Amino acid sequence: MSQNSTPSAAQTAREARQLTNAFTAKLTQKSRGPDPHVRRDSYDVDDDRAKVWRKIEDGSRHAGLAWADALIQTAEEFDVVHKKHGARGPLQANGIRVLRSIVRRALDFATGRSEPELLTIMKWTGLSKNAVVGALARLREHGFLDWVRRTIRVGEKGQPGPQRKQTSNAYWFGFGRMQNKHRGVWQRFRQLLAKKLANKPPSGATPPKLLTAGSTPIRVASGELGAVLASLGAKIESASS
């Protein structure tokens, strides 16, 4: 028998320890501790708490693209309006770049499914890991997106060693934080969306009416912030036309 086919002493000892640990755990009925590489507040991909997606508007490509355009424009306006002299805006250019990459390249409008890997977002945006993580945190802070951490099972149940590992986040767009912190921004987003849907109706179809959960028509953003956003939006649209 060749030397390469003979197990080393270290390998034999490691396998013996694994068998001993598994047998001991079975006899003592001790459960395994938490997996060391799983982050807190993470759920299995099949756990109901990780199923946060919902379709975008009516689920059509037309409505989805209008929704994405409206959200990106709202983010751009928000960043300009809240930019303090000599400082960066609350979202910063990287935040808008990350938001654009997710809603334009990693979002299924029909289901709301969005689960890009961090490395994928880095590749799309050309940003470092720290830059992407920071951008996501700012977007979440101001209510432009949210996510749930998820895990997947690895190996066989009952085997020694970690049985779960982290996988990509499930990104979703509930906007609850935006409505609570920046009501005028939320109203501006709905205003822009209504306008984009009305300006680009699908062939042979009537644009859907945008209503709140209580069937109350969406109002134009009010107050000083709403007026500033609307004015800025008009200038942006005029410059691009």
Please tell me the predicted confidence (pLDDT) of residue 98: 99
58 is written with which tokens?
Answer: 């009516």
What pLDDT does 99 receive? 99
- Considering only CA atoms, which of 170, 21, 182 is closest in space to residue 90? 182
Q: How far is the C-alpha of 43 from the C-alpha of 161, rounded, in Å? A: 19
Q: Where are the alpha helices (DSSP H) in 90-182?
A: 92-105, 118-125, 129-141, 176-181
Q: What is the predicted pLDDT for the residue at 147?
A: 97
Task: Give the pLDDT confidence score for residue 40 in this predicted structure.
Answer: 84
Predicted TM-score (pTM) of the model is 0.69
List C-alpha distances in Å: 56 to 77, 89, 90, 185, 212.
Answer: 22, 27, 25, 19, 14
Taking 50 as the pLDDT cut, the residues of the chain under it are 1-5, 28, 30-34, 207-222, 239-241
Within the chain, strands assigned E span: 42-44, 146-153, 164-172
Which pLDDT score, from 0 to 100, does residue 217 have? 39
Radius of gyration of the chain (CA): 24
Q: Residue 38 is inside which H or E element, if any?
A: none
What is the predicted pLDDT for the residue at 209? 47
- What pLDDT score does 212 carry? 34
Listing DSSP states for 143-160 in one string gives: TS-EEEEEEEE-S-TT-S
Provide the pLDDT for residue 12.
65
- Please tell me the predicted confidence (pLDDT) of residue 157: 64
Contact 213, 182 (CB under 8 A): no
DSSP state of 84: P
Q: Sign of torsion, CA 167 168 172 176?
A: positive
**Nearest Cα to 241, choosing from 186, 199, 185, 191?**
199
